[in-house]
Amino acid sequence: MKDPRDPETRFFLHHGDMTDASCISSIVSKISPDEVYNLAAQSHVKISFDQPVYTCEIDAIGTAKILNAVKCAQEYSGKTIRFYQASSSEMFGKVQEVPQKETTPFWPRSPYGCAKLFSHWLTINYRESYGIHASCGILYNHESPRRGETFVTRKITRAVGRIKMGIQKKLYLGNMDALRDWGFAGDFVEAMWLMLQQDEPSDYVIATGRMVSVRDFCEMAFSAAGLDYRDFVEIDPRYFRPAEVDQLLGDPSKAKKKFGWDPKVSVEQLAKMMVEHDLDLAYREKTLQDIV
Ligand code: GDD
């Protein structure tokens, strides 16, 4: 008998590809999951302007493949499979209301936003057409020390660490006036799970309800290392986008009311957490450079 506490028996990785409907279908029917979280995406907004077709293949058509696999597996086995769709605040784009809530009209401003909006509506359509327990989390920017280094918060905190250790001189950014509602990924993932524990599926805005600019985030991150961002940050037009989302501010009151969700980490704590991690990383980089 296998020990259920052994991670090897609880956690398996299955190879798959979002472009391959047959493999998605066979994985879903083979493991017969209780819950499916569709986080698969080409998730970089700027890159979606350079790779619009690929972004749509993964972020839009990929969702159709997973949803259909869930529907077929559920019909075949009779077992309910709960489905989570990673919708995005990017769907609000040119915002029609401040703050945005679940009923705010969408106006995406990038191929990424358009693809996410397709998946958002398709998920709702599967819920309405086939009674699938499918929920969409409209998540605002969620960050952590694990964030990819080309997203602005991590790009900034990586630079802070490297500048502090003397292995980088400048940080080049695009639009520093963009405003975002930044939260901690750990808090937001908890909200994803809570959504699927509800009796009824629905769509929820997950945000902190506070908006700061890229400039503000720079200020917080550099000062956490005792530096003044104005001495190091320069603007490079390469990082501007063909169409920008100027501001995003979410109203998470539905999630709070329905399942008591509240973010625990403030943007100041988040910046500090990321800077501490990246100071340590840069220290190790520097030590390695000094050795070799
Ligand atoms: N990446 C990046 N790099 N962004 C920059 C830079 C830069 O050098 N300079 C300024 N910015 C601005 C962008 O123009 C944007 O307004 C803002 O910083 C945030 O950019 P990102 O960190 O790349 O995130 P995003 O808001 O475009 O998208 C993220 O959040 C969405 C949720 O709203 C991604 O995680 C998406 O996948 C997610 O859906």
Pocket test for ligand 1, best of 180, 212, 244, 247 (most atoms within 8 A of CB): 180
Confidence (pLDDT) at 291? 85
What are residue 35's DSSP bridge partners? 82
pLDDT (tens digit per residue) in 219-235: 999 999 999 999 999 99
Q: What is the pTM of this model?
A: 0.96
Q: Which pLDDT belongs to residue 10?
A: 73
* For helices 152-164 and 267-291, angle between their N-to-C axes, nearest 10 degrees: 50
How would DSSP label each residue in 110-134?
SHHHHHHHHHHHHHHHHHHHH---E
Q: For this structure, is 126 an active site residue?
A: no
Q: Report the pLDDT value the prediction gives residue 288, as an integer from 0 to 100.
A: 87
Model confidence pLDDT, tens digit, residues 118-136: 999 999 999 999 999 999 9
Distance 171 CA to ligand 1 centre (A): 16
Q: What is residue 191's predicted lDDT score, i.e. its pLDDT? A: 98
Angle ∠(141,144,148) on CA atoms, nearest 5:
80
What pLDDT shows up at residue 122?
98
Which one from 37, 43, 84, 90 is the annotated catalytic residue? 90
Q: Is the backbone of residue 168 left (phi > 0), alpha (psi -120 to 50) or beta?
A: beta
Nearest to 104 by CA among 211, 202, 204: 204
| Residue ranges of the chain with per-residue pLDDT less than 70 | 1-9
User: Would you state the pLDDT for residue 11?
Assistant: 80
List all residues whose CB is within 6 A of at least one atom of ligand 1: 43, 45-46, 88-90, 140-141, 150-152, 155, 173-175, 178, 180, 214, 239, 241, 244-245, 248
Ligand 1, residue 90: give the atom nearest the CA: 33
Compute, in angstroms, the gap from residue 115 CA to the centroid of ligand 1. Answer: 16
Whose C-alpha lies nearest to ligand 1, atom 37? 43
Taking Cα atoms as reference points, which of 80, 77, 79, 195 lies closest to residue 132? Answer: 80
Dihedral pair phi/psi, residue 254, rounded to 5°: -65, -45
Residue 230: what are its φ and ψ, rounded to 5°? -65, -20
What 8-state DSSP symbol labels residue 36? E
Atom of ligand 1 nearest to the CA of 110: 27
Beta-strand (E) ranges in 109-246? 134-139, 142-143, 171-173, 179-180, 183-184, 203-206, 212-213, 233-235
The per-residue pLDDT for 123 is 98
Judged by DSSP in three states, 280 sits in helix
112 is a catalytic site residue? yes
Residues 100/92, Cβ–Cβ less than 8 Å: yes
